[in-house]
C-alpha cells in the first residue's frame, strides 16, 4: 500500500488553539492548530469512543484532552499522558502547501 496526501482545509479554517474533526477515506482525524503549527491525530479516544476534537487543547503541553474522561494525548506521538487511557492514538504527518493543510494517510 502507498500513502496518499489529502487536503483537509485551509489554514484560516482553524483558529489557533482549537481542534476540528475530519472524516477522510475511513480515517477519523482531529486536526489541531497551535500558533502556525498543525497536528493530526486519530479522533477516537483509545479509552472509549469519544471525539478528541471536542476536548480542550493544551497549547503549552502540545496535548489534547478527551472531554469525557479527562485523558490527555500528546499531539507529537499520540501517547496518552494521563489515565484512564493507556493506549496511544494514531498520528498523521501534516504538510502545508500554500494555504492548504494536507495530511498523509497510510
Paired with 21 in beta bridges are 30
- The C-alpha atoms of residue 45 and residue 35 are separated, in whole angstroms, by 24
Residue 13 has pLDDT above 70, yes or no: yes
Spelled out in words, what is the top-level CATH class assigned to the domain 4-105? mainly beta
State the number of CA atoms in the 13 A half-sphere of 92 facing the CB.
27
Instruction: Read off the pLDDT of residues 38-91 as tens digits, 9 standing for 90 and up.
Output: 999 999 999 999 999 999 999 999 999 999 999 999 999 999 999 999 999 999
So what's the pLDDT on residue 36? 96
Amino acid at each position: 500500500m502507498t500513502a496518499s496526501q489529502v487536503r483537509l482545509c485551509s489554514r484560516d479554517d482553524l483558529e489557533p488553539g482549537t481542534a476540528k474533526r475530519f472524516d477522510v477515506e475511513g480515517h477519523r482525524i482531529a486536526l489541531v492548530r497551535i500558533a502556525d503549527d498543525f497536528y493530526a491525530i486519530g479522533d477516537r479516544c483509545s479509552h472509549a469512543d469519544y471525539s478528541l476534537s471536542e476536548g480542550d487543547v493544551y497549547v503549552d503541553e502540545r496535548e489534547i484532552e478527551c472531554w469525557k474522561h479527562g485523558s490527555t494525548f500528546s499531539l507529537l506521538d499520540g501517547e496518552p499522558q494521563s489515565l484512564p487511557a493507556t493506549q496511544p492514538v494514531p498520528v498523521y504527518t501534516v504538510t502545508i502547501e500554500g494555504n492548504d493543510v494536507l495530511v498523509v494517510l497510510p
